Amino acid sequence: MRIAMIGSGYVGLVSGACFSDFGHEVACIDKDEAKVAALKRGELPIYEPGLEGLVAENVRQKRLSFGTDLRSAVRQADAVFIAVGTPTRRGDGEADLSYVYQAAREIAEELSGFTVVVTKSTVPVGTGDEVERIIRAARPDARVAVVSNPEFLREGAAIDDFKRPDRIVVGTDDPEAIAVMRELYRPLSLNQPPLLVMGRRTAELTKYAANAFLATKITFINEIADLCEKVGADVQDVARGMGLDNRIGSKFLHAGPGFGGSCFPKDTLALCKTARQHDAPIRIVETVVSVNEERKRAMAGKVATACGGSVRGKRVALLGLTFKPNTDDMRDAPSIPLIAELQAGGALVRAFDPQGMDSARQILTGIDYADDPYACAVGADALVIVTEWDMFRALDLNRIRDAMAAPVVVDLRNVYRPAEMRHRGFVYLSVGQFDGGIAPVPRDPVRASDARPRPNSSVTARGPEKALVPQP
């Protein structure tokens, strides 16, 4: 089949490459001429494992192409996917749908024959109705069906998620559109993923509900981690004990510095906004949003505790900047508010990330970048593991310790074991862990800065932080 993919960002590029690998003919269309030119040269705007090779092979096979000409791509297409950005709108938390609606207007002008228009972007409930209204107002003669087909791609594992999905959600009641969607995904039939056909609004809400639930699991285990630190328990054992219950499951029960990325933060905000607009507020998700934002800033308190109560004048080394491993995505990464808090407290920050430093340079200021983890650790008063890249899981710990000015490690991803780190001579703080040689400190609040409160500041720490320190 012939597909026009409007938008060549993360979702559009991954989806287009995978559809073309199924054997479909895909044209990825983008208004950014520089991006299109780079894609034609084989230069991808994002890092995703396996994507560069997949794109190159399907371009070579002439199943995948890139361009700026929406007109010819839409006229020839059996299905047109809208995969443009839906960022959070400043001030009110709503999803900005201007790019979606503009794409709908441009698509309407070029429709020829029966065409399925598919919203692949994550959009609030009712967006498909408006897309259809826009198209039919512009082209009342068009034979068109508007379908919701939300993506469920994890950054860092997107190709596998697309080719081996848990489910495929299709929102439409049009039989001809259902037949087209089944044909598009037919190559997956050997894997037998369920193709769930439902109402368009139901499909749109399914995407938001799924992301909000996963965000809630993350926030729940983070709150349990805080309690573990106070009562002398181990959150990783708690998570295992919970996760082996098949009603709960083990995924997304990993304590850390809070969730970030391109989906969870904006989707939870958008869902809360939609719920309030319909007089059905979702208090649980509203709390998740608030607690997660506070948590990302509170992590600086752990670093301050490890440094004796203040980071003023301390050199702090960060390993990992992206919101998760195997991506270069810095959107809403926990490292951003953490660095802001450390800098506000007077720390000198150096960082290393295998893929995210180019993106970080566009967002962060006043920090140094290192070429590798060991260069990052040189002269540091504290080293903080922020992102659990594989290369950080087997560091030469003796080399790290000897390079540092003080052997202090704050592990926000629980990559290492407290007893082992203590045995190697480190002062080691993790998240929600307690072991025999470590006990909670007193209840007094500890903040990253010794000069708070600061007037007119939007960056705040999260109240009391009871961290773990070695006993005398």
Cα separation, 243 vs 253, in Å, equals: 8
Residue 220: burial class (beta carbons within 10 Å; 0-12, 13-18, 19+): middle
Q: Are 259 and 215 in contact (CB under 8 A)?
A: yes
Helix, strand, coil % over all residues of the chain, rounded to 5:
40, 15, 45
Structural tokens at position 458 = 């939007």
Cα separation, 412 vs 429, in Å, equals: 8
Structural tokens at position 175 = 């039989």
β-pair partners for 3: 26, 79
**For 381, which DSSP code?**
S
**For 188, which DSSP code?**
G
Cα separation, 365 vs 392, in Å, equals: 24
Cα separation, 149 vs 287, in Å, equals: 28
Number of other CB atoms surrounding residue 230 within 10 Å: 13
Q: In a 3-state reduction of DSSP, which class is residue 95?
A: strand
Has 263 been annotated as catalytic?
yes
- Set 263, 272, 307, 376: catalytic member: 263
* Four-point Cα dihedral 257, 259, 262, 266, nearest 10: -120
Q: End-to-end distance of the chain based on CA atoms, in angstroms?
A: 70
Name the residues annotated as catalytic: 263
